[in-house]
């Protein structure tokens, strides 16, 4: 029964039968297991493919099955964009940008839903290392939306100098979409048609690198250890009964027969008249045994027959240090302090918290930098389609501060800004428009609307 359960669990976990260990001295390794068994585990859990699609498959599975990974990715994306919606980021312009140009920018951000999609784009680029979006453009040269392109199906073609190709035949397009299973060509795209955001790209690869790339080895080891732990809990979770029977004076053959008869007597139960069945032993059943006395040297001594309860739990399956070690290595790749995930226990030093907070904030700023690249490409392409040189439109993309300590002190900071603004205004150093654009970070369109309303009220 145990072998059938063992094989079933192995089939579920590994997708194939459990490899049988060979005890041939010539076929075993110095670890004491067969070479086939060792190769199976090495292939299953420890060999890491650098292929891009293999990386995508691994990180997707980690996102689906490891709660710490999914939570950390959610937190990174959410904190980087500052909550999402209209509060995610703002566009500030320098003096001299026409209101009509500002309206073009506002409209394209509204149509493409950049503020709403910032969260999923940030999370996707961290998970895969790549995020592909196709610009959908209408006949009036308006960018209507950003269409998601699965990273598994997209290819980036560069020349020997690392520049995007600009051809219009298969293999020469800047970007190509292919069937991930057959590699069949589906469609080709010019450089301006695809927005490709990359996380931590290297000079050797045209693609980005997943935030979880270095965690794959630790995750596979953690996976096999957890599965071994589960198998142990399933198959050895209950106490076992150990029967010690008195076989004094019996030959080996008689002792074996005696043990078989005793075991059969415990497992046999009467179902009906002249009908017997077999039941398995269970620790919840009462077992009634007779215990005889023997005369030894003129004295009555207890027989050797006995029954004991075996506790099969061992420290090897209750010591979680190894699992914690590999889980920490996975979390290290996510750059998210354990305290933010509710996993850190002994964090009391104020200096430690401040240091972690600053590192985390710097990491969030890197994520915002990648998003800035995508937002700028969208805005610049829309301006070009409308015949406007993006170089003549100076703008800045501003995000909410990711520093948690600054967020706590935001009320105090705003109060200080308000007092300084009032003093500057009373001294005549600056006018209300400058204060609105630079202190309140309003766009010129918003300021004009506010001024119009204030004038109407007057």
Q: What is the pLDDT of residue 83?
A: 67
Quote the CA–CA distance of 225 and 221 in Å, as a whole number.
6
Q: What is the pLDDT of residue 425?
A: 77
Cα dist. 316→88, 227, 305, 310 in Å? 49, 14, 31, 16
Pick from 23-27, 81-85, 101-105 the range whose average pLDDT is largest.
101-105
Q: What is the pLDDT of residue 311?
A: 61
End-to-end CA distance of the chain: 89
Give the dihedral sign, CA 317/320/325/330. positive
Averaged pLDDT of the chain: 76
Using DSSP's 3-state secondary structure scheme, residue 106 falls into helix
Using DSSP's 3-state secondary structure scheme, residue 136 falls into strand
In contact, 52 and 403? CB cutoff 8 Å: no
Strand residue runs (E) in 303-419: 306-310, 395-398
Between 88 and 22, the higher pLDDT residue: 88
Region of 74 please: left (phi>0), alpha (psi -120 to 50) or beta. Answer: alpha
Quote the CA–CA distance of 286 and 66 in Å, as a whole number.
43
Alpha helices in 99-190 (DSSP H): 99-112, 114-128
Residues 116-143, mean pLDDT to the nearest whole number: 94
Residues 346-375, mean pLDDT to the nearest whole number: 76
Residues 124-135, mean pLDDT to the nearest whole number: 95
Q: What is the pLDDT of residue 235?
A: 65
Within 10 angstroms of residue 281's Cβ, the number of other Cβ atoms is 12
In the numeric block, the tokens 């589906």 are attached to 186
In contact, 37 and 190? CB cutoff 8 Å: no
Nearby residues of 217 by Cβ (< 8 Å), 6 or more positions away:
46, 48
% of the chain surpassing 90 pLDDT? 28
**Interior angle at CA 185, CA 180 and CA 187, nearest 5:** 105
Whether this model's pTM surpasses 0.75: no
Quote the CA–CA distance of 305 and 290 in Å, as a whole number.
9
Q: What is the pLDDT of residue 357?
A: 73
Burial group, residue 88, by CB count within 10 angstroms (0-12, 13-18, 19+): buried
- pLDDT grade for 283, boundaries at 50, 70 and 90: very low
């Amino acid at each position: 029964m145990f072998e059938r359960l063992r094989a079933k669990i192995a089939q579920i976990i590994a997708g194939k039968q459990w490899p049988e260990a060979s005890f041939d001295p010539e076929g075993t390794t110095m670890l004491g297991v067969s070479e086939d068994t060792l190769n199976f585990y090495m292939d299953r859990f420890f060999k890491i493919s650098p292929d891009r699609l293999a990386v995508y498959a691994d990180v997707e599975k980690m996102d689906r099955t490891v709660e710490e990974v999914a939570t950390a990715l959610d937190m990174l994306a959410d904190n980087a964009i500052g909550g999402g919606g209209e509060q995610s980021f703002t566009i500030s312009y320098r003096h001299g940008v026409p209101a009509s140009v500002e309206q073009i920018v506002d409209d394209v951000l509204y149509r493409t839903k950049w503020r709403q999609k910032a969260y999923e784009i940030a999370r996707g680029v961290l998970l895969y290392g790549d995020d592909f979006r196709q610009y959908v453009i209408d006949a009036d040269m308006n960018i209507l939306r950003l269409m998601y392109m699965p990273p598994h199906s997209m290819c980036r073609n560069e020349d020997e100098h690392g520049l995007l190709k600009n051809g219009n035949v298969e293999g020469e397009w800047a970007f190509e979409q292919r069937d991930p299973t057959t590699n069949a060509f589906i469609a080709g795209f010019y450089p301006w048609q695809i927005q490709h955001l990359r996380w931590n790209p290297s000079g050797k690869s045209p693609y980005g690198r997943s935030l979880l790339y270095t965690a794959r080895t630790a995750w596979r080891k953690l996976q096999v250890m957890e599965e071994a732990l589960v198998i142990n809990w399933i198959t050895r979770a209950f106490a076992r009964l150990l029967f010690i029977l008195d076989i004094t004076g019996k030959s080996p053959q008689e002792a074996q027969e005696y043990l078989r008869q005793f075991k059969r007597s415990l497992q046999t139960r009467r179902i009906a008249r002249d009908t017997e069945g077999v039941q398995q032993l269970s620790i919840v059943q009462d077992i009634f045994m007779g215990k005889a006395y023997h005369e030894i040297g003129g004295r009555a001594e207890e027989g050797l027959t006995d029954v004991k309860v075996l506790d099969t739990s061992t420290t090897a399956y209750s010591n979680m240090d190894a699992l914690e070690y590999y889980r920490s290595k996975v979390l290290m790749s996510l750059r998210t302090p354990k305290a933010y995930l509710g996993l850190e226990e002994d964090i009391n030093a104020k200096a430690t918290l401040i240091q972690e907070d600053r590192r985390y904030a710097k990491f969030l700023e890197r994520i915002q930098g990648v998003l800035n690249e995508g937002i700028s490409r969208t805005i610049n392409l829309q301006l070009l389609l409308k015949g406007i040189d993006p170089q003549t439109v100076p703008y800045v993309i501003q995000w909410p501060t990711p520093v948690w300590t600054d967020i706590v002190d935001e009320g105090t900071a705003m109060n200080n800004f308000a007092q300084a603004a009032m003093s500057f205004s009373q001294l005549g150093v600056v006018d209300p428009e400058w204060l609105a654009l630079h202190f309140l970070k309003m766009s010129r369109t918003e300021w004009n609307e506010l001024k119009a309303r204030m004038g109407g009220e007057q």
